[in-house]
Structure 1
């Protein structure tokens, strides 16, 4: 059993990277990926703790990519080398451009009655550059919301992304591939996926994404219905995608979702590691 989709306090989870490794050890997963939103800032701390505990950590990221008009697709990068020059070239450029555009986000929040400035959110920066996650944490600190999830629902999700604030799918695929990783479409059944599109439309978009560089789809996910799973598997067969899967663990904000088992019945097989981290699969199979 593996878990290829988890989050820490570096993005919108409630456990630090170190704490997540401790929970992974307790959960007994064969391997775990940290896939914080748009950042790799927690991977160093996680790796140090993983080495101490004997946890098999897979370096990951979850890119929020621009798709259509004011729509997002979440793209998981798994098995990346976070020190890769090619990965960092795209990643750092994207984060800098996004940080520069956040002035507009603060302006929009002020028009919504939220009196915070850029300097107020600076203490919540992870990874050196401002992002919306820092603003979400600042909203909690200032008493506008009770938690990060509420910050997104009540405020940030209501602020449309500005042109250039989100990375394009093709650029996310390039960063992931330049870092030696594989790119997967996360939770295709949600709004931050392909929800609302007809089967014909979804297939057309998946064809485009494959041409851009998409390697696979997340086929194991806690909130999948049987229909969702079967539809996903049909897409995998049609487009010769590889599979991933994970709990999308966030900690206390989704307390019903546990590492490895999701809502209780998730079981992502170790074999999915073969095209992602074959050397790791060989190690854990011994």
Structure 2
């Protein structure tokens, strides 16, 4: 597969979401936002979806933004559910991978429709008008996600914020997801010529000793790197992860996990306003080049 990655200076964001999964903006609009913010490289890492890669490619070329093919897989590791695994530089044209993702998409559609039905029952109990599926779909580009339902709740005035939507409706009406087993997800990313990176690690545990034990186990399974710089970790946690990752030979990446709907969140910036340096790209590209030679 021909790489969409080139060498340019500046700032980057290797973790943004489009409305092809649970983001608010279209793939092209994400590219336009990256251009406005003077980012040199972005990775649209949609949940179990690679549709946005093709949709954003032409706009990225026109705007001079480098687009790295990426995906974010929802993974289970032992008793840990909904661990997020990023795959960078994956062959998004692979037919088998597309077929597997399509099965996940079909389950996701059923899941979100079930959640919407439960939310509507809650709204009826509150004496409020229900929300039609088409109303939610108007916010989505490929398949609906929970943030799209949250946006519909916000537009109706049924919630004050995204967080309020989740607290009052989406979390109580949650339906379990389907997950990739970690033991299959990491090799699959490698098969696709990509590198695997654990997203926002502190979402797994904020006990640094326990978290590093888990990361070490995943490294033994073939994990390539960790998203050290992100929107969830505190400064001291990011410094701990940076130090330990460098000692272990793990790649370091950075991303905002931008969905375009969270208050105060900006593409290209993490907690405390930190920016993600393009210097993070060189080791990532080197690992991708090595993988393509095998």
State TM-score, norm by structure 2.
Answer: 0.75
**Are the counterparts in 1 of residues 47 and 72 from structure 2 also a CA contact under 8 Å?**
yes
Q: 1:37 aligns with which of 29, 47, 55?
A: 47
Deviation at 1:143, TM superposition (A): 4.8
* Equivalent residues of 1:186, 1:193 under 8 A apart: no
Among 72, 81, 84, the residue aligned to 1:62: 72
Q: Could you tell me which residue of structure 1 aligns to residue 169 of structure 2?
A: 155
2:257 corresponds to 1:244: no
* Equivalent position to 1:214, from 217, 223, 226: 223
Give the aligned partner of residue 81 of structure 1.
91
Matched, 1:193 2:208: no
Counterpart in the other structure of 1:284: none
Shift in alpha-carbon separation, 1:279–1:64, aligned structure 2, 3 A? closer
What is the distance in 2 between the residues matched to 1:71 and 1:83? Answer: 28
Matched, 1:172 2:188: no
1:111/1:259 Cα in 2 relative to 1: closer, same or farther (>3 Å)?
closer
Aligned-residue Cα RMSD (Å) equals 3.4
For 1:144 and 1:16, how far apart are their aligned partners in 2? 25
- Work out the CA distance in 2 between the residues paired with 1:69 and 1:280: 30
Q: Which stretch of structure 1 is more off in the superposition, 114-123 or 266-275?
A: 114-123
Residue 211 of structure 2 corresponds to 202
Q: Are the structure 2 counterparts of residues 84 and 21 from structure 1 closer, same or farther at C-alpha, using a change threshold of 3 Å?
A: same
* 2:234 maps to 1:225: yes
Q: CA deviation at 1:182?
A: 1.5
1:38-64 superposed Cα distances (whole Å, 9 cap, x missing partner): 332322232121111111111222233
**Map of 1:21 onto structure 2:** 31
Aligned counterparts of 1:213 and 1:99: Cα–Cα separation in 2: 31
- Give the conservation status (yes or no) of the 8 Å contact 1:79–1:276: no
CA contact (8 A) 1:126 1:134 kept: no
Q: 1:12: how far off?
A: 4.0
Tell me the residue number matched to 2:277. Answer: 269
**8 Å Cα contact 1:88/1:175 also seen in 2:** no
- Corresponding residue of 2:6: none
From the superposition, tell whether residues 142 and 123 of structure 1 become closer, same or farther in structure 2 (CA, over 3 Å): same
Once the two structures are TM-superposed, the CA of residue 6 in structure 1 deviates from its matched residue by 1.7
Distance apart, 1:218 and its partner CA? 0.7
Partners of 1:185 and 1:233 lie apart in 2 by 13
Gaps of 5+ in 1: 282-286
Task: Quote the Cα distance in structure 1 between the aligned partners of 2:275 and 2:131.
Answer: 43
CA distance in 2, matches of 1:262, 1:168: 28
Q: Deviations over 1:61-109 (max 9, x none)?
A: 2233335658432222222232122432332232233434456434543
Q: Among 51, 54, 57, which residue is 2:61 paired with?
A: 51
